[in-house]
Amino acid sequence: MADLVAHGLVTSKDAESLDAVAARYAVAVTPTMLGLIDRADPQDPIRAQFVPTMRELQQSPEESADPIDDAAFSPLPGLVHRYADRVLLKVVSVCPVYCRFCFRREMVGPGGEALVGENLDQALAYIRARPEIFEVILTGGDPFMLSPRRARELTQAIAAIEHVKIVRWHTRVPVVAPERVSDDFVQALCAKGVTTWVAVHANHPREFTPAAQAAITRMREVGISLVSQSVLLRGVNDRLDVLQDLMRGFVALGVKPYYLHHPDLAPGTGHFRLPIAEGQELMRGLRRTLTGLAQPTYVLDVPGGAFKAPLDPSYLQVSEGGLQLLDGTGHWHDYKG
């Protein structure tokens, strides 16, 4: 908290009460993100993502420490197996920043366990024993916090499993700490026998700094396939113009927009959530105005962990005469087929 006071983002008076927030949820902001915050704007969208507020202590009954119930689908420490053909490995608990809306906010932070030693061996044995597992998804925390050496060992261990064809890393590092994405690190993500995908998490077009653009370009240059991941957040990107710039920003860098997540019911995050109907209206706006390349799928992880439900608005209605389809200007067209 002292750091945030020193950077003029929190007053020393507020710091005392915010210590209660920091005691519960980890706090960290990287120099790259600090440099983007407009100190004069209390509503700054970058500030809103990383600087803690007292609103985080307001918890509502529907919120939960494990909103998508990873625990119920976790047969081994650090491994979540919800869908038959893919498993998720939580390789580290730390992140370079701690997003105030994080759905794993009760689990992430310094002092958590990394997936190493016997736990890692067991996780790899679990994957090896199940030929239906086609894809291994690396998450955390943020798996780009690994050293190049450990990233390389992990990639190679997974690549050595015959039936695994895809290694997918989910990370916020390329935008928040782009200097970590060195040539050495990028090489460590690739191995013979698997195809590497990286899902880059960014929520606001200002996050595409020149350094972030260079980090993403380094990954593209070695042939890594890139998709995006964003969270739809009140006060950050809940405007059509911001979402347009964000999605265009991804596409311009060769990153295919993949998911726009509706915020999960993580504790103390109510101020970030907006009605799903409003999210659908924004999605209609994107469909009307942006290239097809820039369209993400709007999704909600259903509480309880059953599945990721697509929330995209419908462009189709069934009528007596057949079907009707909605165009970008709001007109319905009959389809008889």
Q: From the candidates 99, 180, 273, 298, give the one annotated as an active-site residue.
A: 99
Q: Which stretch binds ligand PLP (CB under 6 A): 4-12, 29-37, 75-83, 260-268?
A: 75-83
Active site includes 105?
no
Residue 180 makes contact with ligand SF4 by CB under 6 A: no
Q: Which partner, ligand SF4, ligand PLP, none, binds residue 82 by CB below 5 to 8 Å per kind?
A: ligand PLP
Selected binder of ligand PLP within 22, 64, 83, 270 (CB under 6 A): 83
Beta bridge partners of 310: 299
Half-sphere exposure at residue 208, Cβ-oriented, CA atoms within 13 angstroms? 20
Q: Which does 104 bind (CB under 5 to 8 A by kind): ligand SF4, ligand PLP, none?
A: ligand SF4
d(CA 219, CA 230): 19
Select from 5-13, 114-122, 137-145, 181-189 the region that touches ligand SF4 (CB under 6 A).
137-145
Q: Which does 207 bind (CB under 5 to 8 A by kind): ligand SF4, ligand PLP, none?
A: none
C-alpha pair distances (Å), 213 with each of 33, 129, 260: 14, 39, 20
Interacting residues with ligand SF4 between 251 and 310 (CB under 6 A): none
Number of residues in contact with ligand SF4 under rule CB under 6 A: 11
CB of 288 to ligand SF4, least distance (A): 29
Is there a cis peptide before residue 141, judged by omega within 30 degrees of 0?
A: yes
Structure tokens belonging to residue 160:
């050595």
CB closer to ligand PLP out of 18 and 224: 224
Near ligand PLP by CB under 6 A, which window of 46-54, 78-86, 271-279, 285-293? 78-86
Kindly write out the interface string for residues 88-107 of this chain, putting x where it contacts ligand PLP by CB under 6 A and - elsewhere: x-------------------
Residue 110, token pair as written in the block: 């310094």
| Piece of 30-38, 85-93, 98-106, 286-294 that binds ligand SF4 (CB under 6 A) | 98-106
What, of ligand SF4, ligand PLP, none, does residue 142 touch, CB below 5 to 8 Å by kind?
Answer: ligand SF4
What residues between 108 and 167 interact with ligand PLP by CB under 6 A? 137
Of residues 66, 83, 234, 315, which has the active-site annotation?
83
CA separation for the pair 150, 324 (Å, rounded): 54
Instruction: Please identify which of the residues 44, 70, 142, 264 carries the catalytic annotation.
Output: 264
- Looking up tokens 């595409």, which residue turns up? 208
State the Cα–Cα distance between residues 185 and 189, nearest whole angstrom: 7
Partner that binds at residue 249, options ligand PLP, ligand SF4, none, CB closer than 5 to 8 Å by kind: none
- Report d(CA 227, CA 170) in Å as an integer: 9
Q: Quick one: which segment of 42-50, 79-87, 112-120, 179-187 binds ligand PLP (CB under 6 A)? A: 79-87
Active site residue 239: no
- Minimum CB separation from ligand SF4 for residue 30, in Å? 11
Nearby residues of 221 by Cβ (< 8 Å), 6 or more positions away? none
Which residues make up the interface to ligand PLP (CB under 6 A)? 80, 82-83, 86, 88, 137, 308
Which residues make up the interface to ligand SF4 (CB under 6 A)? 95, 97-99, 102, 104, 108, 140-142, 172
